[in-house]
Structure 1
Amino acid sequence: MDIIQRNLFRLLRSGTFGDNSKIEPMSEWKWNCLYGISVAHGVSALVYDGIWKRKNEFFINFSDCLRSKWEKHVSDIEQHNIHATATVAALVDEMNKEQFRPILLKGIPFASIYDNPLHRQSSDTDIYFPYMPQAKKAAVWAKNKGMNIDESTKHSLKYIYDGILIDHKKYMQRLTNPMLNRKLQQIINSEIRCCDSAYVRLNGVKTEVPPPTLNLLLMLVRTARYILSNGASLKQIADLGMFLRKVGDKVDYVKLDKWISSLSLGQMASLEGHLLIELLMFTEDEIPFIHHKKDNSIDNMLDNILLMRGTQSVDWHFSQGKNIFISNSNSGAMMWHIRHSGKLFRFYPSETMTNFFSSFANSLSHIEE
């Protein structure tokens, strides 16, 4: 890693896990690069927490202009999170009264386990309804209460509620491999119906979230899907680390290992664990789901993690012009996906291929009939 990356991770660890590794001196240009990377990965407020804790260190010496911009950015995140938390709490309270049984996923519930919940950046709010009758009633309720209803994606219903984007999910999490996805849905359905529910409090409202063991599995699957499609996200890695530190003692790792094995997730889960070790200074003892040794391929992932290329599958969709020819919107992005999938194939072969072809099929849907 170069000096910008080293300082980025030192400050992220300092802001989240209390690490005090010394900062190396950098120019104003490099500090601006560090700021840009932290914003792109959604961890700018957490990194600034690290700066604030170490504000008197000699080498924390960027300009007042950058400091003001950073502080304004952090303030905007705080104001958004205050409003989002209040709005989602009121939404959940109404849905609880209607007995829809909303289960809140990632986002705001993850923020609640951070020392400063307002600094965990979130975007939309995902809600899952475990029973179909309640899900249908919740959809009708949303269409009456919400604005800008979006049903363009068959697995979700999106709408704006008091300025916050809400997403009713048909699935807590999905895999593109049909056989593995059936197993994942069986795990989710069984766990939601048979085990004790878990809750967090949002502005005093009791809010259901996935049980800890299931929640950790969902995090591992979600991070795997993101790595396969876009490269790794620092926010997801920070979430995973924070969850292990704050909630890990409530996880049944024997059950988790069985699930990981049934989903053929072992090597990818180990890769995620090694990222925690390399980037956030975790120890292997803290990550019970690591069952594969680190090899040189982890170094390639470390190089890849900081490359925000904007190469999501939407960037290489196909379209048809006025003539009969079909063109690709971004051939460079498509080639990146092909190379990226090839590098990751060994970590999750059963999902890597279907994930790529699923993205390819979705890109073809842009072609007009």
Structure 2
Amino acid sequence: MTDILSSPYSNFLKLLKSELWQTSLDLSLSHSEFLSVYDLASKQAVLGMIAESLIRNNVSLERKDVMKVLAIQGRVATTNKAVNSELLSLSKLFTENDIESVVVKGQTIGIYYPNPLARTPGDIDFYCNEDNLPKMISAMASTWGIHAEGKPSEQHFELIHNSIILELHHCLMKFASKKSQKIWDNIFLSLTHNHVEIDGCSIPTLEPTLNLLYTFLHLYHHLIELGVGLRQFCDLAILLKTYYNSIDEKQFFEWLDALDFRKAFEIVQMILVDILGMDKKYALSPIAPDKESLKAINMFMDVVWFGGNFGFHGHNRKFRFKAQYFLMTTYRKLQLYYRFYRFSPREIKASIFSSVPHKALMAIKGDLKGI
């Protein structure tokens, strides 16, 4: 179990909470302490936020560390501006070609951060249904000269434009459980979408209650597969704060119960309060950790600290063949499925008896794309 009271973790979390909730902090870091915080921030995909916190709080650092922090701040801001610019171009493509789409995660959540340019950006994820998908693929080919070549993964095509990765989803959320998949599809297709404004442009995204559900499900899916970083937990905390008066709590918990993820959400919500310092008033259910839930929080966080962002730091080996990576990740997934079974039994049971064997068969056939 990771000791979060130890200096590297304690300093890191103080800085992260200070930036998330815009509180003041009195802190000084030696060079070795700074490097420890930097390493954690890098693994958890929150370097920009830590840099912003260090600068805003005027944390005492050695000169070489100050220069590194300023470089991080500038690099993350520049990358955010580039991703925003690409998102605006994508929105223009939607409009000019009469394409219905919805953009999820990423910049559409980042806009709610105290400083949107400090959130470490990722890909642009967007969804088109079966009617709009061919129109989108055609528009990108004719206007931008990029092509969705080859077979997509189970959920999306991956394309690159202006050095930005675009994930064009034909399936927004993939469940191993057929029952859960049907419930999700009915939820998603029954709701109208919302819009956020980014750099003066209206971007289609999910309405608040569904956005919270999707962001949680995406986080938890990665957590039990290989791991997930604190950036995704920060996104969830920011949404809970932003949508404080907009979320339909009754509907949200009905969805969680129908999908069999309520227990998992309750632990994740405790993490947002106990680890990230979110005000309890933003929680959707009472926060009163008992001995068992505290054990669960530690179990969840051990995966977060070990694997970092999407589990990328959970192993140090480089694999010559993708099949080797598949075997390693499958072994890791089975370990996590065992540990998390009681929090989402239906989905994990379906993963063990359906998804994993299916992907193993694909691997045997040499079809390793997206597995």
Q: Please, what TM-score do these two structures have when normalized by structure 2?
A: 0.85
Q: How does 1:345-360 map onto structure 2 within 5 Å?
A: 345-355=341-351, 358-359=355-356
SS at match of 2:196: strand
Q: CA, structure 1 residues 238+329, in 2 after alignment: closer, same or farther (shift >3 Å)? A: closer
Q: Verify the 8 A CA contact 1:157 1:169 in the aligned structure 2.
A: yes
Corresponding residue for residue 214 of structure 2: 218
Q: CA, structure 1 residues 122+222, in 2 after alignment: closer, same or farther (shift >3 Å)? A: same
1:29 to 28, 32, 39: 32
- 1:142 Cα shift? 2.0
Corresponding residue for residue 201 of structure 1: 197
Q: CA, structure 1 residues 364+65, in 2 after alignment: closer, same or farther (shift >3 Å)? A: farther
Alignment partners' CA distance in 2, 1:246 and 1:82: 22
Alignment partners' CA distance in 1, 2:344 and 2:326: 26
Q: CA, structure 1 residues 146+267, in 2 after alignment: closer, same or farther (shift >3 Å)? A: farther
- 1:70 Cα shift? 2.8
Q: Verify the 8 A CA contact 1:86 1:202 in the aligned structure 2.
A: no
Larger displacement relative to structure 2 (333-342 or 304-313): 304-313
Corresponding residue for residue 139 of structure 1: 137
Alignment partners' CA distance in 2, 1:317 and 1:187: 40
Q: CA, structure 1 residues 149+64, in 2 after alignment: closer, same or farther (shift >3 Å)? A: farther
Q: CA, structure 1 residues 232+164, in 2 after alignment: closer, same or farther (shift >3 Å)? A: closer
Q: CA, structure 1 residues 158+261, in 2 after alignment: closer, same or farther (shift >3 Å)? A: same
Alignment partners' CA distance in 2, 1:47 and 1:260: 32
SS at match of 1:104: strand
The code of the aligned residue for 1:173 comes to M
Alignment partners' CA distance in 1, 2:40 and 2:20: 17
Corresponding residue for residue 254 of structure 2: 258
The code of the aligned residue for 2:172 comes to M
Corresponding residue for residue 369 of structure 2: none
Alignment partners' CA distance in 1, 2:107 and 2:182: 28
Gap runs ≥5 in structure 1? 321-326
Could you tell me the percent identity over the aligned residues? 16
SS at match of 1:171: coil
Q: Verify the 8 A CA contact 2:106 2:121 in the aligned structure 1.
A: yes
Q: CA, structure 1 residues 254+13, in 2 after alignment: closer, same or farther (shift >3 Å)? A: same
SS at match of 1:132: coil
2:3 paired with 1:7: no
The code of the aligned residue for 1:102 comes to S
Larger displacement relative to structure 2 (250-259 or 296-305): 296-305
The number of residues matched between the two structures is 352
Q: Please, what TM-score do these two structures have when normalized by structure 1?
A: 0.86
Q: Verify the 8 A CA contact 2:223 2:303 in the aligned structure 1.
A: no
Q: How does 1:185-200 map onto structure 2 within 5 Å?
A: 185-192=185-192, 197-200=193-196
Q: Verify the 8 A CA contact 1:126 1:167 in the aligned structure 2.
A: yes
Alignment partners' CA distance in 1, 2:208 and 2:72: 32
Q: How does 1:311-326 map onto structure 2 within 5 Å?
A: none
Corresponding residue for residue 270 of structure 2: 274
Over the aligned positions, Cα root-mean-square deviation in angstroms equals 2.8
Q: CA, structure 1 residues 26+363, in 2 after alignment: closer, same or farther (shift >3 Å)? A: farther
1:39 to 37, 42, 54: 42
Gap runs ≥5 in structure 2? 367-371
Alignment partners' CA distance in 1, 2:344 and 2:320: 27
Corresponding residue for residue 156 of structure 1: 156
Q: CA, structure 1 residues 290+217, in 2 after alignment: closer, same or farther (shift >3 Å)? A: farther
- 1:278 Cα shift? 1.3
Corresponding residue for residue 20 of structure 1: 24
Alignment partners' CA distance in 2, 1:101 and 1:236: 26
